[in-house]
A and B are shown apart, each in its own frame.
Chain A
Amino acid sequence: MRNNKFNLIHFLNRESIAGLVFSLPFIIGFFMFLLVPMGISLYYSFCDYNILSPPVFAGLKNYIKMFQDETFYKTIGVTLYFALVSVPLRLVFALIVALILFKTTKATGLYRAAYYLPSIIGGSVAVSILWKRMFAIDGVINKLLGAMGLPSEFSWLGDTRTAIWTLIILAVWQFGSSMLIFLSSLKQIPSTLYEASTVDGAGKVKQFFHITLPLLTPTIFFNLVMQMINGFLAFTQCYIITQGKPMNSTLFYTVYMYQQSFEYSNTGYGAALAWVMLGIVGLMTLLIFGTKKFWVYEGGV
């Protein structure tokens, strides 16, 4: 009995140790590349620091400066606008196209591929420089409008009303991966549900709102959370296509943070901006989670 117990403890010990050993890369990585950098930057956010000279403790100066910085408010507005418009639009598109493609025909694979391709390469620099040229005054958008006899001299990237929309369109264009997620969720809805409701006399529209949509809400929720976070943190597109112009109307928070830290050498201020961003993203995520119980269906099928 005693021997048995000893073996059991020994065995448990071994398992717990082996588990730790396998998890070791993450434990080290989490510490070295996440906690330590965040700790350092937290300290620097309370300092006057420009990378070249050593940091000087300055208390809340950076944070106070932020509240007086008009550009800071502007970038939050721009970024929120971008995320709040582009993410829901992208999800709606993804859902509509997923519903259309759910009906399988011989060409479905091909269509799915065409819709998915932009998501694969959409984040690349290549697409960003392409976008910049497409919306240029002599770009393809204006030329196509001209060919249709419409006004074709518009400066899409130079107007404060439209510049942000070029970035939104670029984001919505990449709805493909959400579409795939919706497609695989749609496949998991048992067809018996539809059959039963048809017997009960429900039409297609009713079926969509009472079966399909509720059962998709967990997927929509997950996508919403992840994409809002990513939407809030977009960088490459803005940095390459508009650089915040015109008049900061497209200046994303991340790009502003980059400018402050590396172009204007206000690294301490940049570190403070990073921490405030973390707070905003966390708050936003909590907010979305807070709405979960009102619209996400969590019962089984």
Chain B
Amino acid sequence: MAGRIIYHVIVCGIGLIMIYPLLWMVMSSLKDTKTIFTTANQLIPEQITFQNYINGWRGFGKVTFGTFFMNSLFISIIATIGTVISSALVAYGMARFKFKGRKFLFVSMLATMMLPAQVLMIPQYLWYQKLGWVGSYLPLIVPYYFAVQGFFVYLIMNFINGLPVELDEAAKIDGCSYYRIFTKIIMPLIAPAMITGGIFSFMWRWDDFLSALLYVNESMRYPVSLALKLFSDPGSSSDYGAMFAMASLSVLPAVLIFIFLQKYLVEGISTSGLKG
């Protein structure tokens, strides 16, 4: 009994330390902006105010956070649709077909998993500049329609490999073309993997800061991640209350996903991490 209590005290204690920074951020956003740092060691605000949310939402210049959130939503959703569809197609192609160059493609795909965006930052910038894409959303969206993130292909491939081949074969004998097999049989079955992938993709696109920093230059078109940075720029008005309020709002989608769709997240991490 005593052992169990000690166990829970320790685990709770560590848990509290883990989420304390986030609690502090949310609680600070509810304090009067002048008192945030004078009362930094008190977690609970003496008086709850939503003024910071009102001030923060006004945004910068004439652009409100409403615009920034819409921009982020637009980019994240459109890019995620592309990621999920193209990754499902490629995963099916690589998992179920034997063809020349398949092995090479598979290795290339694994290589893209090991090659994060930062390495490609400058090469891609130079290329998009040649294409005339700098300053538009195209670099933030178009590549994702070409399954450039091996992680998602890999995730869905693992899932397809778990489906019995007999299903495809039976359909083939019935005269189904490969394309019909994909849309009528495979797609419905891999829906869970596509949802898992979609969730990860959405969260990563939402958080994406580097490509927005490189390619978006009009504040009208800033996504939330870039807009938040304006708060911490030297020379900004440094209204920390407003900053914490908007920062809290910006993590809300991820937190909601976390609360309601945790099952898919855990699955995605466990399956993709395990079979490496």
Contact = CB atoms under 8 A, between A and B. Distances in A.
Same complex: yes
Interface of A: 14-30, 32-34, 36-38, 40-41, 44, 51, 97, 100-101, 103, 105, 107, 111, 113-118, 120-121, 123-127, 129-134, 136, 138-140, 143-144, 146-147, 173, 177, 180-181, 183-185, 188, 218-219, 222-223, 225-226, 229-230, 233, 235-236, 239-240, 254, 257-258, 261-262, 267, 270-271, 273-274, 277-278, 281, 285
A139 to B, nearest CB: 6
8 contacts: A16-B99, A30-B105, A117-B22, A126-B248, A129-B247, A130-B22, A139-B37, A240-B229
A37 B143 contact: no
Given A26-B109, A123-B207, A277 B120 contact: no
Contacts of A127: 21, 247, 251
B84 to A, nearest CB: 12
B86 A25 contact: yes
B37 A138 contact: yes
Contacts of A40: 123, 126-127, 130
Contact of B119 (A36, A118, A136, A274): A274
A222 to B, nearest CB: 4
A229 B119 CA distance: 10
Given A125-B207, A285-B114, A25 B146 contact: yes
Interface in B205-264: 206-207, 209-210, 213-214, 224-226, 228-229, 231-232, 240, 243-244, 247-248, 250-251, 254-255, 257-258, 262
Contacts of A116: 258, 265
A274 B122 contact: yes
A205 to B, nearest CB: 17
Contacts of A107: 8, 11
B102 A19 contact: yes
Interface of B: 4, 7-8, 10-12, 14-16, 18-19, 21-22, 24-25, 37, 40-41, 86, 89-90, 92-94, 96-102, 105, 108-109, 112-116, 118-127, 129-130, 143, 145-148, 153, 178-179, 182, 203, 206-207, 209-210, 213-214, 224-226, 228-229, 231-232, 240, 243-244, 247-248, 250-251, 254-255, 257-258, 262, 265-266, 269-270, 273-274, 276
Nearest to A252: B118
Contacts of A139: 37, 40
Contacts of A30: 105, 108, 112, 146, 148
A260 B244 CA distance: 31
Given A117-B258, A127-B251, A131-B21, 19 more contacts: A18-B97, A19-B102, A20-B101, A22-B94, A22-B182, A25-B90, A26-B146, A32-B143, A33-B120, A33-B143, A105-B7, A113-B258, A124-B251, A129-B232, A129-B243, A139-B37, A173-B21, A235-B209, A277-B119
Nearest to A93: B14
A113 B265 CA distance: 11
A26 B86 contact: yes
B40 A267 contact: no
